[in-house]
Amino acid sequence: MSFQVFGIPVSRGVAIGRAVLVASSRVDVAHYFIGAADAEQEYARLVRGRDAVTRELQDLKAELPEDAPHELDALLDVHLLLLNDEALVDAARDWIVDRHYNAEWALSAQLEVLARQFDEMEDDYLRERKADLEQVVERVLAALAAEQNESPSGASAVVARDFAGEDPLLLVAADIAPADMIQFKRSVFQGFITDIGGKTSHTAIVARSMAIPAVVGTREASRLIRQDDWVIIDGDAGTVIVNPSPIVLEEYRFRQRQAELENARLARLRHTPAITMDGQRIELHANIELPGDTVAALASGATGVGLFRSEFLFMNREGDLPSEEEQFAAYKSAVEAMAGLPVTIRTVDIGADKPLDRMSVNELRHEHVLNPAMGLRAIRWSLAEPSMFRQQLRAIYRASAFGKVKLLVPMVAHLGEIRQIQETIKRVKGQLDETGQAYGEVLLGVMVEVPAAAIMLPQLLKHVDFVSIGTNDLIQYTLAIDRADEAVAHLYDPWHPAVLNLLASSIAQARAAGKEVSVCGEMAGDAAFTDLLLAMGLTCFSMHPSQIPSVKQRILRADVPRLSAALPRILESDEPAKAALEALTPQSRLH
């Protein structure tokens, strides 16, 4: 039966494929692909986990006191039966062998299949046994995690696999953790669907960086869609079509072919300088998350890296923080790959929607923080962990000996923070001098993403070399909404007059002070805002590499003086989006 699910469109385009469900669990589950040669070894690991839990339950049963309630003994019997039923671990083998899932993912996928079967049972008693099944699975997951911690050996993760001849795969989940997104980023998925999230949630940002369609905030998709259902993701309309009819399927396949032709046309602009019709040169930089992303940045025609999100070096590490040498190697790799083009490295922006693993920093655990977006995150966390902060700064400064490096600090809101940063930099440079380690000149910049920073920008500009405006958080904090919460996602409005005025004034003040200014948030990569940002005087945009061609096309067609003349009308309007559409469209420029 065909049906539709509606959500928030966050990454444009059409994707068609089979659904792959990532089941939610009260226990953290690692999701990664394994090599074909490792399948039997991975299944053996799953069997060892089951056997370990079996022994644990048998020991508990044997140690029950004589006066223990009979129901407790019977409950342990139920758990043992479920644990050793061939429909659980034995059936999970298919996910390992056929789909190349790791053991934890395979077990979670099979749990999802069985849980649906329990939900459809008419007998209340049998239906309630789903909770027992979930408890059994969580015990096995815990046993698998314990084995991994004891022995680092085992099946190796495969980030990308050749699925030639197989159906395209679409990922469906309640939510996708940033740590999992690191694994999925270079894998086989052609699109993402999540129950929660907004336009600037991490899933949305990564989907756009991969140039694949995504719909978030669907609320029920992971419960309505079944494993291997045929699914269409309409990333333009925010619609998910499950088990589509042949006519609908053919219509969307035609749209896919049209989009491929358009992308091929835009790709021809790669080596064309981004110069407006009136002769202004615009810098188009790339946002990256890992050193290897520089390949896509250069392929897209980026003239530098405007944002290296260093926090991704800190995530998905089971609690271990990267050493100075590991960070230095990563930064150096990115700097050398850009071959003299500038690389802006942002200090670790941990917190909010990007927490560290639960085993690492207790104060960042979401269950202990009422509002992580307002808590100990970004520069606040760095200053609270001075040894970690100095370690990262040393690695960044050492990498500056191999190319042009700029240091960007997130979420600054106080002059006192700037002073602490400068003191730490002075100390770090002294340490490097003492040990004879080379470093180059590093420009210091801050992100304008807290309204306080935008309002007090003239004072901040006296102490820094450049600023980068992070529109994602600036919108979130200005409008007091959680950008990852689909319940208020409709209130996330880049066209809000308050947001536009903060943005325009920040750009104008930086330019007046003779300081470099860029926009590195999602607005920079959205071609719908290109003309507006040019009108505000922006000359440096930083975005995901996949977004550069469409933005460059808009720049090549832009006449900045004419756009600037329309800016006051837009900023003074009660409906800026409508005013911009009327004032900035190509037709209006001709009059």
DSSP per-residue codes, 261-282: HHHHHHHTTTTS--B-TTS-B-
Annotated active-site positions, please? 202, 520
The answer to whether residue 586 scores a pLDDT higher than 80 is no
The answer to whether residue 291 scores a pLDDT higher than 60 is yes
> pLDDT category, 368, cuts 50, 70, 90?
very low
Give the pLDDT score at 156. Answer: 40
Give the pLDDT score at 367. Answer: 42
Structure confidence by residue, pLDDT tens digits, 118-146:
878 877 667 767 778 888 898 899 889 88
> Which of 162, 257, 233, 237 minimizes the C-alpha distance to 16?
233
Higher local confidence (pLDDT), 63 or 41: 41
Residue 66, marked binder? no
Q: Measured between alpha carbons, how far is 340 from 453 in angstroms, rounded to an integer?
A: 31
> pLDDT category, 186, cuts 50, 70, 90?
low
Tell me the percentage of the chain whose pLDDT exceeds 70.
86
Residue 483, marked binder? yes
> pLDDT category, 430, cuts 50, 70, 90?
very high
Give the pLDDT score at 372. Answer: 59
The angle at the Cα of 328, spanning 325 to 329, to the nearest 5 degrees, equals: 85
Structure confidence by residue, pLDDT tens digits, 503-560:
999 999 999 999 999 999 889 999 999 999 999 999 999 998 989 999 999 999 999 9
Q: Is 561 exposed, middle or buried (0-12, 13-18, 19+ CB in 10 A)?
A: exposed
> pLDDT category, 180, cuts 50, 70, 90?
low
Q: Measured between alpha carbons, how far is 1 from 245 in angstroms, rounded to an integer?
A: 9
Give the pLDDT score at 363. Answer: 42
Q: Measured between alpha carbons, how far is 357 from 56 in angstroms, rounded to an integer?
A: 27
Q: Measured between alpha carbons, how far is 520 from 470 in angstroms, rounded to an integer?
A: 5
CA 143 distance to own-chain centroid: 29
Structure confidence by residue, pLDDT tens digits, 486-498:
678 778 899 999 9
> pLDDT category, 319, cuts 50, 70, 90?
low
| Mean pLDDT of all residues belonging to the chain | 86
> pLDDT category, 441, cuts 50, 70, 90?
very high
> Which of 233, 206, 222 minimizes the C-alpha distance to 288?
206
Give the pLDDT score at 299. Answer: 92
For the segment 101-129, the average pLDDT, to the nearest whole number, is 83
Give the pLDDT score at 352. Answer: 54
Eight-state DSSP code of residue 233: E
Give the pLDDT score at 373. Answer: 65
For the segment 236-250, the average pLDDT, to the nearest whole number, is 95
The answer to whether residue 588 scores a pLDDT higher than 50 is no
Q: Phi and psi at residue 387, in whole multiples of 5°?
A: -65, -40
For the segment 336-345, the average pLDDT, to the nearest whole number, is 97
Residue 316, marked binder? no
Residue 473, marked binder? yes
Give the pLDDT score at 355. Answer: 56
Give the pLDDT score at 164. Answer: 40
Give the pLDDT score at 568. Answer: 96
For the segment 389-404, the average pLDDT, to the nearest whole number, is 98
Q: Measured between alpha carbons, how far is 59 from 53 in angstroms, rounded to an integer?
A: 10
The answer to whether residue 383 scores a pLDDT higher than 90 is yes
Residue 179 has which token pair? 């740590």
Span of 242-256, 291-305, 324-338, 367-381 with lowest mean pLDDT: 367-381
Give the pLDDT score at 206. Answer: 73
Tell me the percentage of the chain whose pLDDT exceeds 90.
57
Q: Look up the pTM and report it.
A: 0.72
Please, are residues 221 and 241 in contact by the beta-carbon 8 Å criterion?
no
Eight-state DSSP code of residue 166: S
The answer to whether residue 475 scores a pLDDT higher than 80 is yes
Q: Measured between alpha carbons, how far is 28 from 31 in angstroms, rounded to an integer?
A: 10
Please, are residues 464 and 444 in contact by the beta-carbon 8 Å criterion?
yes
Show the domains of the chain with their CATH numbers. Answer: 3-22+160-264 (3.50.30.10), 33-158 (1.10.274.10), 268-589 (3.20.20.60)
- Type and span of the H or E element at 470: none
The answer to whether residue 203 scores a pLDDT higher than 80 is no
Give the pLDDT score at 71. Answer: 65
Span of 107-111, 349-353, 428-432 with lowest mean pLDDT: 349-353
The answer to whether residue 36 scores a pLDDT higher than 70 is yes
For the segment 282-308, the average pLDDT, to the nearest whole number, is 94
Give the pLDDT score at 21. Answer: 84
Single-letter code of the amino acid located at 19: A
Residue 317, marked binder? no
Higher local confidence (pLDDT), 372 or 45: 45
Residue 485, marked binder? no
Structure confidence by residue, pLDDT tens digits, 71-95:
667 778 888 999 999 899 999 999 9
Span of 346-355, 412-421, 491-500 with lowest mean pLDDT: 346-355
Give the pLDDT score at 376. Answer: 82
The answer to whether residue 450 scores a pLDDT higher than 70 is yes
Give the pLDDT score at 361. Answer: 39
Higher local confidence (pLDDT), 82 or 368: 82
